[in-house]
A and B are shown apart, each in its own frame.
Chain A
Amino acid sequence: MNAPLRVLGCIIVGALSAAGVIVFQRYAGEPTSRMVTALVGAAAVLLTWSVTGLE
């Protein structure tokens, strides 16, 4: 598998997941937490890296 493309895919999913957390926090009236946002983004990157390696 092409490693740079895999990295790109992971970054896309991580960034989208972080954006999703920001949207949730903003519209659910939750206090904004950069830590939670970063953790979710990082988890999404790791998860995507793991599952795209299963092929």
Chain B
Amino acid sequence: MSKTEAYRFTLAADLASAVGEKRNDYQTRQVSGGTRLYLQYVNGTASVPRKGSSATEFLSGVMTSSPGLEGQLKGLDGRPDEFYDALSALRDQRSNGRARSEASAPSALDRALVEQHEVWLGLVGKIASSGDWALVRSDAVMIMDGRFTINTLDGSMISVKMKGVANLRDAYPGKSHAEAYRLWVEGAEDDKNNPPARPIPVAVSFEFDAPGRPGANSEIAAKRYLNASKFYWKYLRLAARQFGGRGTISLNGTRRIPDAGFARKFSIDVFEILSPPQTGDQPADVTPRPGGQGEGSSAQPVNVS
């Protein structure tokens, strides 16, 4: 079966209350269909972890400790010579220091890789502002409805809308939907012997607003707007493709207060949904380009950390 997604980066944050934490406030959060939480993502980061399966996937196909093997790696054959030259240069840079995605001032090489070869350089930054009006429905399904802005290391701002689902039944094994919701609403007093202090799965979808080309406006735009779009080429994919995510929300079974008293943190791996390959069994995230394809191409990018 063809690959249908490609890992891009990981979001992680602690969850705090957006309205201040007041005790015994749950009864005033009962809205139609469930209980409302007002969350903020604090100490939030977007990054590509150096370890773990996500990092392995991110680096697969490109990064190798064996010089000269790139062209033999699955999916990387059939590219122009300059692609391999660029990869070699990237490998040299990487061996000398930081990951590409952590460079505060992307190089001309970076831009060439992105624009000519659709390489995905990764995304590193901090969550600058955030809010999530999550609804815990009476069937124990938590609907996340978050908005936040990522301030990348190169100074770009990326606005994000995130919608997701987690099932609180995962925190209360063996309980029905109604029982799980009741336990959650009534608080940890009822389940102090079995607190749901464990991560539960969450699946989300993303809508990114990333800097784009200034285009004709570049001739008249003030510096602030030109600066905002300075590295637009790195993030064009975010606004042009569909992204989803999988991860966990960590719960705290001893909560006594709304909002962050229950959900403490989340970590979500962000994936790009890939177009299915048109022919053959080529891996979708490294489809060889026949050359000359620009933005909007069906070719998929290569990950480079």
A in complex with B:
no
Interface residues of B (CB under 8 A from A): none
